[in-house]
Amino acid sequence: MSASAPQVWLDRQALRNNVARATELIGPDSRLMFAVKSDAYGHGMDLVTPEVVAAGAHELAVLDIPTAIATRRNAPDTPVLAWLVGAGDDYSAALNHRIDLGVSTGWQLDRLAELDSTDPVTVHLKVDTGLHRNGATAAQWPELTDRARQLELTGQIRVRAIWSHLADTSVETSRQALERLHRAVGVARAAGLTPDTLHIAASHAAIELPEARLDMVRLGILGYGVSPFSDQPASTWGFQPVLTLDAPVTGIDGHSVSLGVGYCHGLLPPVREATITVDGQRCRVETVGPAETRLHCSEPPQLQIGDVVPVLGGAPEAVSIEQWASWCDTIGDEVLVRLRPELTRAFRD
Amino acid sequence: MSSPANHSPLRWATTHSHRLRDALTEWRERVGTSTPIDLRANAYGFGDEAVASLAAQLGFVSAALDSTSTVESLKRSDSESNDGWVDIAHHYGAFSLHAQVINSKAVDAGAEVSYGGLYRTTQPSTLALIAIGFADGLPRLNPVGGHVAVAERRLPIAGRIAMDQIIVDTGNEPVEPGESVTIWGGSVSCAEWAEWSGRSCALLGAGLGERVVRIVEDQ
């Protein structure tokens, strides 16, 4: 096989396995919300979304309203949660597309109150339990829940869920956050709200803290078979990497090899010594340029222009996403989300 | 300065044409018009159509282009090109990256902020949530740090940069949801981000994500 451009391959069985594995891990009492934000962590949202829904993911998480609406064409009937909601966003479009909204502030509720509709907006009310990112503080929470209850009574919203997000600093701080969530739920119920879903855990806590799984787990990085921990691979829990990035050989000169992939394709340049395996030997990465990666091999490799080299991801000879991330002094998430949307992506089967 | 109106983008990048023209004019004086100009990676975030059309007006003939590029104003060149214009253009203030404030709230002293609790408020303060993260091309700074700006006011990033969001410590002068924050290309420069991250401005610009709405200002 001869190639001239980099290519992203997805492993359908690995993706299905990960959904099944997550469902098994969190048990029958918790729903699985699969995160497809950031172009499905660089995998390609249009490919991943229908597959995870078919494999049994109950709900989907995206970031903002425009992405949520784009998700609808691949998941017409699955609940979709958008939770980064701005002052200038199109709330009526969200309602028209039956998008669940993550709401943290009174002004967001005011926007929902202005909508002219007979159907209520489904709301996940967010409380800050210590991450200090989105979510209402404990001081803001009573007023927010009272206001939400008023809007339920006038038929404008329905508070389906109360949720939060963990800092994953330690098991101890996660337990404290969980206690704060339960206290906030008490306040919400006293205000008359009747949420049926509580959720706080993402990949990290879903593994580390079983009591945080509650009614739903939001699975991001682990669903793609990449570990949320620096010291344990995703295979520890039976998750398999979904993505492989292939690149063509574009030049050979003795010990030097050029691959036709670079940072304009989204390959993050390493800041430490890094290697890529070609022709069975680990060759040192000299530079990652805009469109080309140059390697130095200790033996002249037997290769031809157009030969395909698995660079990153799940293929046996490829560098794992976690390994590349550590060479770039970052986490797998950043390596994945940088992969450019222009790259050709397909399931390999 | 382009600030968000109704249904405005959560994050956007502005290429300032008049400053870009000045920068390309300086570049032309250094290398002449026959050196191919490197416009790969969507002209390192500036937008290859915008840079190519100005470069063509200034007499440049050819450019290194992405394989997916639709630029027609310059001839495609495979010979040695040069991206030296990128740092000059940033120096001229020809590019700025912005995002919206989503939330702003008061917190106590000792509040741990973002993943891993790597930032802690030293006194009662206010925190602003900004709708931009490493999926949009911000480098995930390690160690944490960095600044952004609201007009002339420099504000520290509080803790770890997340995939979609950063948090900024606004002290006792909170900012309002809907306000715009400049990430780089103003009181905080791209060169500073390059220093904090070890990534060049060319690499930073090349990494800007699809969710960043591109605006070209002509005046």
CATH code matching the domain that covers B95-217, chosen among 2.40.37.10, 3.20.20.80, 2.60.120.560, 3.20.10.10: 2.40.37.10
**Average pLDDT, whole number, for chain B?**
94
**At which residue do the structure tokens 């002449």 appear?**
B32
**Average pLDDT, whole number, for chain A?**
96
pLDDT at position B7 is 62
**Facing B167 at nearest CB: one of A132, A169, A330:** A132
pLDDT at position A1 is 52
Range(s) of chain B covered by CATH 2.40.37.10: 95-217
pLDDT at position B219 is 64
CA–CA min distance B136, chain A (Å): 8
Q: Which is more confident, A291 or A349? A: A291
Segment A49-55 mean pLDDT: 98
Q: Which chain B residue has its CA at the smallest distance from A174's CA? A: B116
Q: What is the pLDDT of residues A202-218, one digit of tens each?
A: 999 999 999 999 999 99
Segment A114-136 mean pLDDT: 95
Chain A residues close to B67, C-beta within 8 Å: 5
**Using only C-alpha atoms, what is the Rg of chain B?**
19
Q: What is the pLDDT of residues A266-317, one digit of tens each?
A: 999 999 999 999 999 999 999 999 999 999 999 999 999 999 999 999 999 9
SS3 A212: helix
Chain A residues close to B107, C-beta within 8 Å: 132, 137
Q: What is the pLDDT of residues A229-248, one digit of tens each?
A: 999 999 999 999 999 999 99
Amino acid making up residue A189: R
Largest alpha-carbon pair distance within chain B? 60
B213-217/B11-16 β-pairing: parallel
User: What crossing angle do the helices spanning A141-153 and A106-113 adopt, rounded to 10°?
Assistant: 10
Per-residue pLDDT tens listing for chain B (219 residues): 333 345 689 999 999 999 999 999 999 999 999 999 999 999 999 999 999 999 999 999 999 999 889 999 999 998 888 899 999 999 999 999 999 999 999 999 999 999 999 999 999 999 999 999 999 999 999 999 999 999 899 999 999 999 999 999 999 999 999 999 999 999 999 999 999 999 999 999 999 999 999 999 986
Work out how many CB contacts closer than 8 A connect A with B. Answer: 131
User: By the 8 A CB rule, do A345 and A295 touch?
Assistant: no
ipTM summary value? 0.96
**Whole-number Å distance between alpha carbons of A195 and A188:** 9
pLDDT at position B78 is 85
pLDDT at position A2 is 66
B215 burial via Cβ count (<10 Å: 0-12, 13-18, 19+):
middle
User: Which domains does chain A possess?
Assistant: 12-226 (3.20.20.10), 243-347 (2.40.37.10)
pLDDT at position A290 is 93
pTM reported for the whole predicted model? 0.96
CA–CA min distance A36, chain B (Å): 12
